[in-house]
Structure formats: C-alpha cells, structure tokens
Amino acid sequence: MHMADALLSPAVGATMWALSAATLGRSATQVRRTMDEGRLPFMGVLGAFVFAIQMLNFAIPGTGSSGHLAGTLFLALLLGPHAAFLTVSSVLVVQALFFADGGLLALGCNIFNIGFFPAFVAYPFIVRPLLAGNPGQGRRAFGILLGAVLGLQFGAFGVVLETVISGRTALPFKAFLYAMQPIHLAIGLVEGLATLALVGFLARTRPELLETQPRSRSAWKGALVVAVMALVAGGCLSWFASQRPDGLEWALAKVGQHEAEAPVESLHGRFAQAQAQTALMPDYAFKSGGESRGATSLAGVGGGVLTLLIVGGVGIALRPRRKMA
Amino acid sequence: MANFGDHLRELGALDRLASMDSAIHRLDPRAKVLVTLFYILLVASFGRYEVSGLLPFALFPVIQGTLGEVPWGLVGKRVLMVLPFALVLGILNPFLDHSTVLIGSWSLSAGWLSFVSILLRFALCVGASVILIATTSMDGVCMALERLGLPRVFTIQIALLYRYVFVLLEETLRITRAREMRANGRPLVLAEYGSLAGSLFLRTWERARRVHIAMLSRGFEGEFHGARPPVFRLKDGVYLLGWGAVLILLRLVNLPHLLESLLKGVAS
C-alpha cells in the first residue's frame, strides 16, 4: 500500500526521505561499480516494464477480485538488490508525479516500504539463500513465496508505524496493525504467486536470464548501515522536528490503556510549553496541542468562507486573457 | 483492464501540457520542485485538527494552475481518483475519536474535524503535485532532482523509464487486447498470466538490448547531454523566495481567524 502525504507528519516524511536518499546513493554507487554505465538503458526499459506490468491484473480464483505484480522481488532476482532498488524507486517517482500515488513527501516512505524491504531484506536473507545452487521446483516456489510474503509484511508494518507516529489519523496502533498485516499476507501471497508464474515461464524459455546473482556481502552490509542510520536519523529528527510529540505517546497510550489519557495530556502540555519556548515557530505546537485543540484551530465559518472567496478571486483575476482578436 | 488505455491517455495529456509554454512553464524546474516540496511539507506540518489554517494554502495551487494554464478538470479528476484512499483511512476518525470541540455555541466532534482535515490535505497535496508535473517536463524534473543531490544514475534511470513507458504501455495494451478478443470474457488466470507477462518481459528484454546497443553505438556513456543547460535566473530566485515567504506567512498567520476578527470588528 502506498503511504500518502496527507497522513504524514513532516518529521516522519523527512526521516524516511533521508533514509531512502541514503539507500539510493549507496545503490547508485554499487550499480556504478558493478555494472558499466552503458547498461543503464537496460534498467530504464525494465523500469518501464514494471510500470506496465503493475497495471496488468489477473483474476484471483474464488474471490472475484484481482491482483497484480509489484515487481521488486522479480527485479531483485533478475538484476540484484541494488539495481532492483533503483529501478523500483524510479517507478515510484514517476507514479508519485503522474498519478499522485502517495505523493512527494510520502515518496521516501514508499521507496523504503516497497523497495527496501523486498530488495535488501527479503531477497538477500531469504530468497537468495533458498534459491542458491540448483533449486528444484518446490524449493524455488517456497523461497519466492516466503520472500514475497515477508517483504510485504515488513512493508505493511512500515506503513502502520509511519501512519501512527505521524498521528494524522485516529487509527489505534493495534487495530491498524491487525488489519494491515493479514491483508498484506494475502497481497504477499498474490505477489509471490505472480512472481513465481513469471519466473516459471522464464525458467522454461530463457533459463540463462535467471542465473542467480553472484553472492556478495555488500547487500547485507548495506542493510546494516541503513538500519543504524535509521535509528540515528529517526532519533535526531523526531527530537528536533516533531511538532506533535503526542503522536507517538498517543499511540503508546492506545497500545497500553485507553485510560492513560490524562497523564498523556499533561505530558503533552509540558512538551508543548517547552516547545513553545524553544521553537522557531512558536505557534506550531500550540495550534494542535492541549485540551483546547479544536477550539483554536477551527475559525468561525465566516473567516473560512472569506478566505476561499479570496483564493477564488485571485484565481479568476489571474486567469490569462486569451487573445480576443 | 479498461483503465489501461485511460492511464495511457492521461500520461499523454500531462506530457502534452508539460510541453506547453506559460509563465510557470518557463521557470527553472529546480525552483518549482523546491517550492512544491516546501508547500507539501508545510501542509503536512499542520496539526491533526487543523482545518481553517489549511484553507489559505489553496492559494498556491490556484495561482500556479491558473498562470500555468492547467485545465482544472484534469486536476479535479486526479484528486477524485485518490479520494477513495483518503476516505477509507479518514472515515474511521469520527468513530474512533469521540472528543468534542466547542465552537461558539456549537459542539463538533473532533473526529469529523480531523477527517475534513485529511481530505483537505489530500486535495492540496495532490493538486500541487499534478500542477507541478503539468507545468514541468520530465527531463526538467530529472535535472532538478539531480542538481538537488540525487545520484545521476538514478535520475538517468527515471528519464529512461519515462521515455519507454509510453512504448511499453502500448505494447501491454496490444497484448491484453489480443488476449481479450480470444478469451471471450474469460478472466486472466494465474497460469496464463505467467506466459502473458513473461512474453511481455521477453519482448522488453529484447527491446532493452536493442536500445542498449543503439545507445552504445551513439557513444552513450551514462550521461545525457542536454541541448541547453538551464540557468537559474533572477526571476527563478524571486519566485522561490517569494513563495517561500508567502507560504511561511500563511503558516504562521491564520488568515481565516484574522478575517473573522476583522468581520467582527466591522460588525460591532
């Protein structure tokens, strides 16, 4: 599932942007090192393939619904994790720009959830070891299905965490988690089956394309580096940038007990005070915080209507005059 | 699979719009990308229950879209297409969040407030990004991303993907159309999906190989050489700083509140 701008706080969005950009930088270096740059057109065309194949739906028997391939795992099998990550990220950029799938702030989250986990976790740790050597049909199917399912489980967990920490929806952590993980179990199975169908076809027709990537340790070292960076960046950024410290606390309160409302509120009040004294934009935290949250944030209807009238007026005034003559 | 052709048409429509000429089109892509990112960041920075403070932010897409001559129907369609997603995630708020807020003598559920806030954010962010891409060519966006520090391998990858996406979508459309005409309404099952997607892949692979050889033989070494390197001019700087200032001001000053108190002042 794509994360969306509207559900993100700037702190979470920026943290995930930083993580994804760092991973992109690393992958780009790796690709440059292992693949000569003349081969870039290859990746470009494959990116377009993934873009197209994501729109090709197949029927899921017995449900009446349909599914499609996301393709990260398939690309990892074909190109290795670094090139796969770059390719899927480029697909997500174009989708965010043209189809507003997710959005620009959420791009970091989406690249990480959809690209990082399958390419740098599921593929090197599960799929590659299981498919090493000359796997039989059973082992290959098991490896690909498991890899696809786990990659999507991680991705779904990422979406849940990012949403809850951002605190834009009232979805409780547990309920959201319980909804998302099973849904993505199904989606993961579909992804695995589709990847398997595609890989099976290629194994019959062009087996040489599927020769397993040379084993390198760089992939998991990269994952480790990124994980450490995630902790550091997340810690720093949320400390400095979160204008809503209650997002996480509120989530934690939901996980624990609903009655924890009052202390959270007062804790948040203190946070808000401290923030107001130190922040560059003092009204940042006040606007959304405390008991009086909605009261200050919703102006009288008159002011809102007037604002919209002004905005509309500006639009009409600026309308380019087509040449009459 | 009816949406396949729609997607293709819409990509084409945006591509054509981006190659038009207007005051906004002529700006440096870097300035546009930066302003749009900053805008989305500010919209996202509002608290969960903010509604009034978000309204003035409609100013940016309205001005940008009007000066850039982007048809509003297209923007509206995009927003409507992502709306179901916003509805699904936001509609639970009114049921989960039972606290109430008092506005004058009205009491309003905070859940509904945050729901409206999510819908507004969706409309504003989606609108701003669609307008960005309708007024900026894809090569321009790639150039901007590269100058902003993304690795060149990645921006070239995006540019190449974009060049081939039309060809491949058309190819996929042909393949699925051929299948549909023979399938007599039978849905595409997984076993057939493998060979359908597989043959599309093999064609793609062959095409990629041909493209690769063709580009190599023209001296491609991993870099595009643009016809005219873009220059960041004074007006781009003014645009960047001007919008930056206006957006920060809108973020700090709640315009509807201000107008409300003005209205009250006039009335009394």
Chain B positions in Cβ-Cβ contact with residue A197 (cut-off 8 Å): 190-191, 193-194, 197-198
pLDDT at site A209 = 76
- Look at chain B and count its residues: 268
Mutation for testing the A interface, residue in B39, B60, B119, B125 having most A CBs under 10 Å: B125
Pick from B225, B162, B28: nearest CA to A93: B162
Count of alpha carbons within 13 Å of B68, Cβ hemisphere only?
Answer: 30
Position A229 pLDDT exceeds 60: no
What is the Cα–Cα distance from B119 to B108, expressed in whole angstroms? 17
Tell me how close the Cα of A203 comes to any Cα of chain B, in angstroms: 10
Reported as a single tens digit per residue, the pLDDT across B4-33 is: 777 788 888 888 988 888 888 989 999 999
Give the residue extent of every domain in chain A: 5-226, 243-290
What is the Cα–Cα distance from A305 to B56, expressed in whole angstroms? 10
Task: Answer yes or no: pTM beyond 0.90.
Answer: no
What's phi and psi for A17, nearest 5 deg?
-60, -45
Architecture of domain A5-226: Orthogonal Bundle (1.10)
The per-residue DSSP string of B39-72 comes to HHHHHHHS-TT--GGGGGGGHHHHHHHHHTT--H
What is the Cα–Cα distance from A29 to B72, expressed in whole angstroms? 42
Mutation for testing the A interface, residue in B26, B131, B158 having most A CBs under 10 Å: B158
pLDDT at site A33 = 84
| Cα B117 to chain centroid, rounded | 19
The per-residue DSSP string of A195-250 comes to HHHHHHHHHHH-GGGGPPPPP-SHHHHHHHHHHHHHHHHHHHHHHHH-S-THHHHH
What is the Cα–Cα distance from A88 to A51, expressed in whole angstroms? 9
Interchain contact, B194 vs A201, CB within 8 Å:
yes
- Interface subset of A 123-162, CB within 8 angstroms of B: none
pLDDT at site A277 = 44
Neighbours of A246 (CB within 10 A): 25
Neighbours of B244 (CB within 10 A): 15
pLDDT band at A36 (very low <50, low <70, confident <90, very high): low
Interchain contact, A44 vs B164, CB within 8 Å:
yes
Reported as a single tens digit per residue, the pLDDT across B170-196 is: 888 888 888 888 888 888 888 888 888
3-state SS, residue A143: helix
Position B168 pLDDT exceeds 50: yes
pLDDT at site B60 = 93
Q: Which of A42, A196, A297 sits opposite B212 (nearest CB)?
A: A42
Q: Token pair of B63, please?
A: 């001005």
Strands A66-67 and A58-59: antiparallel
Give the residue extent of every domain in chain B: 1-147, 151-218
pLDDT at site B61 = 93
Tell me how close the Cα of A52 comes to any Cα of chain B, in angstroms: 5
